[in-house]
C-alpha cells in the first residue's frame, strides 16, 4: 500500500503541473486584469505602468516560466488585488471554510445515513416516502435561492439567527474556530445547512439504494437465517457493504464543499476561501486563482487517495496496488 | 424495526397474471406499481409536451424583442397587456409575460439538462468503466484527469468558454458536460472495481468473452444503481447549475432566458414584494425536477437486476 | 429619607443611561464592495479610497457634493502660472502623537507613485508635479505648464506619515503597524474578507465623528445586504438595489438616504470604422457603417425612451441625462436637456439617412458593473427594434467585457460597435469625462483613453485642451460647457441617465449621500 501511495503522489505532482498550465493560460484567455484594476481616469501611460508593475508586459510563456521558477521555491506569487502573497491569502481564509465544510459534512452524515437506511429498509412506509420526496427538494432548488429564503425566514422574519457573517471565535485544544462559541454556531447553522442540503439528499438516496439492494443479497439472508440480531445485521453486515459508494461520493463532495462553497459564502458573506475564489475569478486575480486551484487539486488528490485506501479497508475484495487485467 | 415488514421485501415477485409476459409488459406493471411514480411520469410527459408546443400555447414570444415592452414590466398576475392578453402569472423585469417565458424557458432548461446529462453520463461511464477494467497506467491517467476536472470550478470553465466562443446554449452545455462527466466516471469506476473482482466476471473471462462484451453487458448493468442515483441527481443539478451560472452572469443570453435564468433574475426581486417574478419560475423548476426524480427513482428500482422483486 | 433615595436612584439611573448612551456609540456598516488594502496608495479604487478617508486625511478634502474644502491644507492658491502654494494646518498630530509637517507631504508625493506591485497607483494625479518644502507648514507644488486642476488632483490621495511610511510595505499597513494617519479614526482590526474595525481619534483636528467604534463589513450579494439590514444585524448599508427601495420605504425601522452621483450611463457608438463588425444589413450582409451618419445617431437617441428606463428599469431611482454630468457640477452646460422620446422622428431621420428599414445591430454591455446594467441594455434593444433597428443583446461579466470593449479588436482597437458604459467623474467636474471619453484617442498625450467609439472632432479637442490650461475658473467653465455642447450636438455619445445612489440606515440615523458614491462613517449622523 505504501508503494501505491507513493506512486499516486508522484502522479499528483504531474496533475498539479498540468493544472497550473491550464489555469494560467485559461485565465489569460478570459480577459486582462488591468482592465479590472485600473482606475478609469488613468490614461494610456498609467495603464502601461500598471501592466509592467504586475509583470503582464512579458509574453505569457515567459510569465509562466517565471511563475514556475518561483513556485519551486514555494512562492506562488502575489495577488494583483491585495498585494499580498496568494498562498497566505488563501490560508488565512481556510479555517472559516473548513469549519463550514465540516459542519455540512457532519449534517450530511448524521441526517443522511439514518434516514437513508430507514427508507431503504422500509421503502413503502409513509415516512420513507416523505423522506424521499423531501430529499428531492434538497437538490432541485438552486443554492442561492434556498440560502436567501433561509435568511428571509430565520433572520428577517423570525429573528432567530443572525443573517450573515461569521461569529466569534474561541480556541480549544489549540484550534481556533467559531465552532466553539454559541455565537459562532448560531452564525454557522444557516450557511452549513444551505451547503449540506444537496449532500444530505445525496447521502439519503445512495444509502437507500444500497440498502435496498443489500437486503436482497445472500449474505443478509444467511445472516438472518443464522438468527443474528436485526441490529447486528444492519449495523455490521449491511452498513459495511453499502458504505462504499457513500464514501466515494462523500469524499468527493467534501472536496467540493471546501473548494466551491462559492455561492453559499457569497450569500452569507462568509469570510472563507470560496468567496475569495469568486472575487478573484471576477477580477481575474490570476496568482490567487492559480494558487487556489493548485491547493484544491492537492486536496482532491489526497481525498481520492484516502477514499481508495478506505475501499480496501472496508471491502477486502478491492486490492490496491498491482491490479492488472 | 419489525422483521416481518422486511421479509415482505424479500419475497420474490408475485407470480404474474396468467399468460405470456413480454419484458415490456413486466416493466410496465413494475413501474405502475407505485402510483406516485405513475403520476410523476404523467406530469413529466405533460411538461415535455408543454415545452415542445410552447410556441402554440404561449400568448407571447418572449424571445422576440419586438413583442416585449419595458413599459409592461413587473405587472402583477392577472393584469392585461397592451396586446390584450392577460399576464396569467404576471410579467418580469423586462416586460416578458412570465407564463410564456416559463414555457419557453422549460424548453431550454429541459434540453440543456437532459442533453448535457446524457452526454456526461455516456462519456463518464465509458471512461470510468475503462479505468476500472483496464487498470494500470490507463486507470492512473484517467483518474488523474478526473482529479483535475473535479477541482476545476464550473464558473471558470464557463467564463473561459464565454470569452472564447461567446454566449449560447451549446456553450453552456459544453460547460455542464465538462463539469459533470467526472462525477459519473468516478462513481462508475468505484462500483466497477467491486464488480470486476466478482466471480461472474472471472467466469466471463474464462469463457473468452470480449472485453467490450464483459464491460457493457456484464459489469455496467451491475453498476447501474449508483449510476442512476447520481444520474437523476446530476440532471437536476445540471439545471440548477445552469441557474447558478446565470446567477453569476456567465449563463445563457439574457434575452432568451431559460428557467434557471428566470429564477436567477427573480432572485433579485425576492425581497421586493414582487413575489411572482421569482415564485412561479421556482415552482415550475421544482415540479419539473421532482417529477424527473420520482420517475428516476422508480426506474432505478425496476431496472436494477439486483432488485428482482 | 426614602424620597432622597428615590431621587438618588433616578439620578444614578439617568447617569448610567446617559453614559452608556454617550460611550457605547458604535456603528456597523454593510459595504457593497470589499476594500482590498489599508495601504492608501496601493490601489486607486473607490472602495479603498473611501476606506482610507477614515484613517488618513488629504491636503484638500471634498464634501459630500465633491466641493473642495480645506483638509490638512488650510488654504491654497496659485502663486504663479506653474506654482501652487499650500499652507498646512498647524498642530495636527499623527495617531502616535508625532506632529504632521511638510516633510510628510513631500514624502507622500514620492510614495504614492511607487508602491511595489500596485495595480493602479496615483500617478494619474501626481505625475508632472513636484512638491517642494518651503517651510514646515508651506509646500509649493510645481508643474511644467499652467495646471488649473491642481486642488482637485491633490484632493485624491491620502497623506501618510514619513516616519512609518519610509520603511513600510503594503503588508505593514494591512497589519496596522504602519496604518498611522491623521484621520478621524484609528485602525483597530482588519480581518480580510470579513471586517474592518476603527476607533475614534480623540485628538482629531477637525469635527469629531459621532461614533466610538466603526465596523465595516463587506456584504457583496445585494439581497443579503438588504436582509442583513432588515434583520438589524447592521446599522447601515450602501448601494441599496433599486428593486428593493419601494419595499424598504414602507419599513418603519429604516430610513433611506439618496443622492445623485457623478456617474453618467451612456452609449458609445462606432464613429470610426466603415465596416463595423456588429452592424449588419437586415439580411445579414455587410453594410457601410450607418452609425457614422449623425442622423442615424440622432435617430437612435430619439428612439430611446429615457423616462421608461428611469421609471421601469431604475424604478424611478435615476435622473435622465442630456450631457456628461448632472446639473450643479462644474463645467456643465445650462443649455443641454435630455433628448425627448420621439420614435416617429427617429424613423424619419433613418429614412433621411438612407436606411428607412433600419439595419441589424448588436449592443454589448456588462452585467455586473453598473446599477441594472443588463436590464438597461435589454430595454434599449427593445426600443431600437421598434424603430426597425433589429438589435441583439450580448451582456457579459466585466472581466470579459472591458478588455474586449477597449482593445479586443485587431491591433488592440475597440471590438464592439455599440456599447453601454458608465463614467464617474472622479474630479467632480466636466474635464474628466471630456478628456477621457470625447477627446480624440491620442495615446502619446494621454487623451481619449476611454474613447471606445473613437469620436474625433478637432474643434472639441482644442476646446478641451484650452480648458485644461486655463486657470481662470469662469473662462474654464465656459470652455468645458462649449466643448460638451458641440460633442453632444454631434451625438459623440448618447447619455442615458445619471445614477442615483441609495443608502439605508436604521431609523434615527441619516447618511449625507455623497456624489462620489463613497460610504464613510463620518457622514453618518443621528437625526
Which residues in B lie closer than 8 A to residue C399 (C-beta atoms)? 159
Question: Full-prediction pTM beyond 0.90?
Answer: no
Tell which residue, B156, C257, C366, C241, has the closest CA to residue A148: C241
Tell which residue, C457, C471, C458, C498, has the closest CA to residue C332: C498
Tell which residue, B225, B219, B223, has the closest CA to residue A325: B219
Q: CA-based angle B143:A248:A302, to the nearest 5? A: 60
Regarding predicted confidence, which is higher, B182 or C55?
Answer: C55
pLDDT classification of A316: cutoffs 50, 70, 90 = low
For C193-235, the three-class secondary structure string (H helix, E strand, C coil) is: CCEEEEEECCCCCCCCCCCCEEEEEECCCHHHHHHHHHCCCCC
pLDDT classification of A318: cutoffs 50, 70, 90 = low
User: Do residues C280 and C360 make contact, with C-beta atoms less than 8 angstroms apart?
Assistant: yes
Query: pLDDT, tens digit, for every residue of A185-198?
Result: 999 999 999 999 88
Chain A and chain B share a number of CB contacts under 8 A equal to 190
- Cβ-Cβ contacts under 8 Å for B106 (sequence gap 6 or more): B47, B50, B51, B54, B259, B284, B288
ipTM for this prediction: 0.85
* CATH number, residue C429: 3.10.105.10
Among B11, B124, B151, the residue to mutate for chain A (most A Cβ within 10 A): B151
Q: What is the pLDDT of residue C27?
A: 95
List the subunits that have 3+ CB pairs under 8 angstroms with A. B, C
* CATH number, residue C95: 3.40.190.10
Does C282 share its domain with C337? yes
Which residues in B lie closer than 8 A to residue C230 (C-beta atoms)? 271
C518 lies in some domain: no
Confidence check: pLDDT of C19 > 60: no
Regarding predicted confidence, which is higher, C16 or C57?
Answer: C57
Question: What percent of chain A shows pLDDT beyond 70?
Answer: 96
Chain A and chain C share a number of CB contacts under 8 A equal to 172
A46 and C45 within 8 Å at the Cβ level: the answer is no
Which residues in C lie closer than 8 A to residue A43 (C-beta atoms)? 124, 436, 446-447, 449
C527 lies in some domain: no
Does C158 share its domain with C306? no
Average pLDDT of span B27-40: 82
Range of the domain at C170: 26-218
C271 lies in some domain: yes
C229 lies in some domain: no
- Residue after which a domain boundary falls, among C218, C249, C271: C218
Q: What is the pLDDT of residue B232?
A: 74
Q: What is the pLDDT of residue A319?
A: 57
Does C206 share its domain with C290? no
C-alpha of B87 from chain center: 29
Confidence check: pLDDT of B12 > 70: no
CA distance readout (Å), B128 to A193, B189, C219: 31, 5, 42
- Residue after which a domain boundary falls, among C160, C188, C218: C218
pLDDT classification of C273: cutoffs 50, 70, 90 = very high
- Decide the pairing of beta strands C26-31 and C318-320: unpaired
CA distance readout (Å), B76 to B93, B96, C317, C362, C499: 11, 12, 21, 31, 27
Does C301 share its domain with C192? no
Average pLDDT of span C146-158: 93
Q: Dmax over Cα atoms in chain A, in whole Å?
A: 85
Q: How far apart are CA C521 and CA C27, in angstroms?
A: 8
Q: How far apart are CA C114 and CA C107, in angstroms?
A: 11
Does C328 share its domain with C381? yes
Domains of chain B: 23-27+35-307 (1.10.3720.10)
Chain B and chain C share a number of CB contacts under 8 A equal to 85
Confidence check: pLDDT of A295 > 70: yes
Residue C70 C-alpha cell reads as 480645506
List the subunits that have 3+ CB pairs under 8 angstroms with B. A, C
- A-proximal residues of B, 126-155, CB under 8 Å: 133-136, 139-140, 143-144, 147-148, 150-155
Q: What is the pLDDT of residue A247?
A: 77
Confidence check: pLDDT of C22 > 50: no
C424 and A35 within 8 Å at the Cβ level: the answer is no
pLDDT classification of C20: cutoffs 50, 70, 90 = very low
Asked if A262 reaches chain C (Cβ–Cβ under 8 Å), the answer is no
C155 lies in some domain: yes
- C-proximal residues of A, 50-79, CB under 8 Å: 50, 53-54, 78
Does C274 share its domain with C156? no
B86, β-bridge pairs:
B80
Does C209 share its domain with C267? no
B308 and A26 within 8 Å at the Cβ level: the answer is no
Residue C491 C-alpha cell reads as 451625438
Query: pLDDT, tens digit, for every residue of A267-288?
Result: 999 999 988 988 898 888 999 9
Question: What are φ and ψ of residue C515, in 5° steps?
Answer: -70, -25
Does C48 share its domain with C101? yes
Q: What is the pLDDT of residue B11?
A: 39
Which of C117, C194, C220 lies nearest to residue A83, judging by beta carbons?
Answer: C117
Domain count, chain C: 2
A212 and B229 within 8 Å at the Cβ level: the answer is no
Does C211 share its domain with C327? no
C20 lies in some domain: no
Q: What is the pLDDT of residue C60?
A: 96
In angstroms, what separates the C-alpha of A301 from chain C's closest C-alpha?
A: 28
Tell which residue, C290, C231, C282, C317, has the closest CA to residue C491: C290
- Cβ-Cβ contacts under 8 Å for C513 (sequence gap 6 or more): C64, C257, C258, C259, C501, C502, C503
- DSSP sequence for B261-289: HHHHHHHHTTTTT-HHHHHHHHHHHHHHH
Domains of chain A: 86-324 (1.10.3720.10)
Which residues in C lie closer than 8 A to residue B249 (C-beta atoms)? 367-368, 395-397
C391 lies in some domain: yes
In angstroms, what separates the C-alpha of B60 from chain A's closest C-alpha?
A: 27
Query: pLDDT, tens digit, for every residue of B227-250?
Result: 776 777 777 778 878 888 887 778
- Decide the pairing of beta strands C236-237 and C26-31: parallel
C274 lies in some domain: yes
Lowest mean pLDDT across A235-244, C60-69, C201-210, C240-249: A235-244
Q: How far apart are CA C348 and CA B202, in angstroms?
A: 82
Q: What is the pLDDT of residue C21?
A: 45
Instruction: Using the Cα atoms of residue C312, residue C314, residue C318 and residue C320 in order, give the sign of their dihedral.
Output: negative
User: Do residues A262 and A273 make contact, with C-beta atoms less than 8 angstroms apart?
Assistant: no
Amino acid at each position: 500500500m505504501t508503494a501505491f501511495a507513493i506512486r499516486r503522489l508522484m502522479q499528483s505532482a504531474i496533475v498539479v503541473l498540468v493544472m497550473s498550465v491550464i489555469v494560467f493560460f485559461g485565465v489569460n484567455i478570459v480577459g486582462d486584469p488591468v482592465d479590472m484594476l485600473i482606475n478609469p481616469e488613468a490614461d494610456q501611460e498609467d495603464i502601461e505602468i500598471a501592466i509592467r508593475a504586475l509583470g503582464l508586459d512579458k509574453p505569457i510563456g515567459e510569465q509562466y516560466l517565471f511563475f514556475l521558477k518561483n513556485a519551486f521555491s514555494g512562492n506562488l506569487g502575489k495577488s494583483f488585488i491585495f498585494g499580498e502573497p496568494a498562498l497566505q491569502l488563501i490560508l488565512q481564509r481556510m479555517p472559516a471554510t473548513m469549519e463550514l465544510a465540516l459542519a455540512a459534512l457532519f449534517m450530511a452524515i448524521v441526517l443522511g445515513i439514518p434516514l437513508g437506511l430507514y427508507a431503504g429498509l422500509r421503502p413503502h412506509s409513509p415516512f420513507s416516502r416523505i423522506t424521499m420526496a423531501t430529499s428531492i427538494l434538497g437538490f432541485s432548488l438552486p443554492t442561492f435561492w434556498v440560502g436567501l429564503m433561509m435568511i428571509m425566514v430565520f433572520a428577517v422574519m423570525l429573528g432567530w439567527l443572525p443573517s450573515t457573517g461569521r461569529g466569534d471565535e474561541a480556541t480549544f485544544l489549540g484550534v481556533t474556530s467559531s465552532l466553539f462559541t454559541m455565537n459562532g454556531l448560531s452564525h454557522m447553522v444557516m450557511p452549513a445547512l444551505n451547503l449540506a442540503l444537496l449532500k444530505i439528499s445525496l447521502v439519503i438516496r445512495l444509502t437507500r439504494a444500497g440498502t435496498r439492494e443489500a437486503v436482497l443479497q445472500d449474505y443478509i439472508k444467511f445472516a438472518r437465517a443464522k438468527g443474528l440480531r436485526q441490529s447486528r445485521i444492519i449495523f455490521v453486515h449491511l452498513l459495511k457493504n453499502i458504505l462504499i459508494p457513500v464514501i466515494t461520493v462523500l469524499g468527493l463532495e467534501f472536496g467540493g464543499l471546501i473548494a466551491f462553497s462559492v455561492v453559499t459564502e457569497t450569500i452569507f458573506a462568509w469570510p472563507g476561501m470560496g468567496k475569495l475564489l469568486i472575487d478573484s475569478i471576477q477580477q481575474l486575480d490570476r496568482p490567487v486563482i492559480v494558487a487556489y486551484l493548485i491547493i484544491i487539486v492537492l486536496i482532491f488528490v489526497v481525498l481520492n487517495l484516502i477514499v481508495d485506501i478506505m475501499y480496501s479497508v472496508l471491502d477486502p475484495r478491492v486490492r490496491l496496488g498491482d491490479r492488472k487485467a | 424495526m419489525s422483521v416481518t415488514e422486511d421479509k415482505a421485501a424479500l419475497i420474490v415477485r408475485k407470480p404474474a397474471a396468467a399468460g405470456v409476459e413480454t419484458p415490456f409488459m413486466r416493466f410496465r406493471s413494475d413501474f405502475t406499481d407505485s402510483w406516485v411514480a405513475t403520476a410523476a411520469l404523467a406530469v413529466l410527459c405533460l411538461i415535455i409536451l408543454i415545452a415542445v408546443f410552447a410556441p402554440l400555447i404561449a400568448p407571447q414570444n418572449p424571445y422576440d424583442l419586438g413583442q416585449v415592452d419595458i413599459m409592461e414590466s413587473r405587472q402583477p398576475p392577472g393584469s392585461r397587456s397592451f396586446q390584450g392578453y392577460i399576464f396569467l402569472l404576471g410579467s418580469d423585469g423586462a416586460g416578458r409575460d412570465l407564463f410564456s417565458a416559463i414555457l419557453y424557458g422549460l424548453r431550454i432548461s429541459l434540453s440543456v439538462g437532459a442533453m448535457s446529462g446524457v452526454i456526461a453520463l455516456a462519456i463518464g461511464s465509458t471512461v470510468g468503466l475503462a479505468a476500472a477494467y483496464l487498470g494500470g497506467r490507463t486507470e492512473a491517467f484517467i483518474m488523474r484527469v478526473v482529479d483535475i476536472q473535479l477541482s476545476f470550478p464550473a464558473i471558470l470553465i464557463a467564463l473561459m468558454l464565454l470569452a472564447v466562443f461567446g454566449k449560447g446554449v451549446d456553450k453552456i452545455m459544453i460547460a455542464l458536460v465538462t463539469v459533470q462527466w467526472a462525477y459519473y466516471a468516478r462513481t462508475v469506476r468505484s462500483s466497477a472495481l467491486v464488480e470486476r473482482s466478482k466471480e461472474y466476471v472471472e467466469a466471463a473471462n474464462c469463457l473468452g468473452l470480449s472485453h467490450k462484451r464483459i464491460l457493457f453487458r456484464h459489469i455496467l448493468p451491475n453498476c447501474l444503481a449508483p449510476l442512476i442515483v447520481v444520474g437523476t441527481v446530476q440532471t437536476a443539478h445540471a439545471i440548477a447549475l445552469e441557474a447558478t451560472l446565470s446567477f453569476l452572469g456567465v449563463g445563457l443570453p439574457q434575452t432568451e432566458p431559460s428557467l434557471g435564468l428566470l429564477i436567477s433574475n427573480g432572485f433579485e426581486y425576492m425581497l421586493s414584494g414582487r413575489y411572482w417574478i421569482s415564485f412561479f419560475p421556482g415552482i415550475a423548476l421544482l415540479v419539473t425536477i421532482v417529477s424527473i426524480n420520482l420517475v428516476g427513482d422508480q426506474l432505478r428500482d425496476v431496472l436494477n437486476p439486483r432488485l428482482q422483486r | 429619607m426614602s424620597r432622597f433615595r428615590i431621587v438618588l436612584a433616578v439620578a444614578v439611573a439617568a447617569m448610567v443611561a446617559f453614559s452608556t448612551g454617550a460611550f457605547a456609540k458604535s456603528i456597523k456598516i454593510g459595504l457593497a464592495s470589499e476594500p482590498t488594502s489599508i495601504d492608501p496608495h496601493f490601489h486607486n479604487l473607490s472602495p479603498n479610497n473611501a476606506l482610507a478617508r477614515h484613517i488618513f486625511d488629504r491636503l484638500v478634502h471634498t464634501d459630500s457634493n465633491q466641493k473642495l474644502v480645506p483638509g490638512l491644507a488650510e488654504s491654497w492658491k496659485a502663486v504663479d502660472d506653474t506654482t501652487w502654494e499650500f499652507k498646512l494646518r498647524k498642530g495636527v498630530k499623527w495617531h502616535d502623537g508625532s506632529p504632521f509637517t511638510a516633510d510628510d507631504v513631500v514624502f507622500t508625493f514620492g510614495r504614492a507613485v511607487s508602491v511595489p506591485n500596485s495595480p493602479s497607483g496615483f500617478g494619474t494625479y501626481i505625475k508632472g508635479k513636484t512638491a517642494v518644502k518651503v517651510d514646515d507648514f508651506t509646500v509649493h507644488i510645481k508643474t511644467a505648464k499652467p495646471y488649473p486642476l491642481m486642488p482637485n488632483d491633490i484632493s485624491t490621495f491620502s497623506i501618510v506619515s514619513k516616519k512609518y511610511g519610509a520603511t513600510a510595505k503594503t503588508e505593514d499597513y494591512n497589519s496596522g503597524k504602519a496604518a498611522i494617519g491623521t484621520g478621524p479614526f484609528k485602525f483597530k482590526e482588519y480581518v480580510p474578507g470579513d471586517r474592518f474595525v476603527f476607533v475614534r481619534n480623540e485628538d482629531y483636528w477637525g469635527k469629531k465623528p459621532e461614533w466610538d467604534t466603526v465596523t465595516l463589513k463587506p456584504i457583496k450579494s445585494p439581497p443579503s445586504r438588504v436582509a442583513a439590514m432588515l434583520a438589524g444585524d447592521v446599522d447601515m448599508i450602501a448601494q441599496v438595489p433599486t428593486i428593493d427601495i419601494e419595499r424598504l420605504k414602507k419599513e418603519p425601522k429604516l430610513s433611506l438616504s439618496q443622492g445623485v452621483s457623478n456617474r453618467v450611463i451612456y452609449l458609445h457608438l462606432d464613429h470610426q470604422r466603415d465596416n463595423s463588425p456588429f452592424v449588419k444589413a437586415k439580411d445579414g450582409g455587410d453594410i457601410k457603417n450607418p452609425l457614422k451618419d449623425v442622423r442615424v445617431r440622432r435617430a437612435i437617441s430619439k428612439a430611446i425612451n429615457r423616462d421608461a428606463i428611469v421609471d421601469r428599469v431604475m424604478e424611478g431611482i435615476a435622473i435622465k441625462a442630456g450631457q456628461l454630468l448632472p446639473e450643479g457640477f462644474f463645467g456643465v452646460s445650462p443649455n443641454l436637456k435630455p433628448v425627448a422620446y420621439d420614435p416617429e422622428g427617429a424613423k424619419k431621420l433613418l429614412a433621411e439617412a438612407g436606411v428607412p428599414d433600419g439595419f441589424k445591430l448588436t449592443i454589448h454591455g456588462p452585467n455586473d458593473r453598473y446599477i441594472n446594467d443588463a436590464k438597461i441594455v435589454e430595454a434599449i434593444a427593445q426600443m431600437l427594434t421598434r424603430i426597425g433597428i433589429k438589435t441583439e443583446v450580448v451582456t457579459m461579466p466585466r472581466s470579459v467585457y472591458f478588455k474586449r470593449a477597449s482593445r479586443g479588436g485587431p491591433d488592440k482597437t475597440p471590438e464592439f460597435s455599440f456599447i453601454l458604459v458608465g463614467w464617474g467623474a472622479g474630479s467632480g467636474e466636466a474635464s474628466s469625462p471630456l478628456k477621457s471619453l470625447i477627446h480624440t484617442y491620442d495615446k502619446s498625450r494621454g487623451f481619449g483613453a476611454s474613447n471606445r467609439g473613437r469620436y474625433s472632432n478637432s474643434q472639441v479637442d482644442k476646446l478641451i485642451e484650452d480648458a485644461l490650461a486655463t486657470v481662470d475658473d469662469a473662462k474654464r467653465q465656459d470652455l468645458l460647457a462649449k466643448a460638451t455642447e458641440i460633442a453632444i450636438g454631434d451625438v459623440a455619445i448618447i447619455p442615458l441617465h445619471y445614477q442615483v445612489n441609495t443608502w439605508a440606515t436604521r431609523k434615527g440615523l441619516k447618511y449625507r449621500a455623497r456624489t462620489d458614491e463613497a460610504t464613510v462613517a463620518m457622514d453618518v449622523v443621528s437625526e
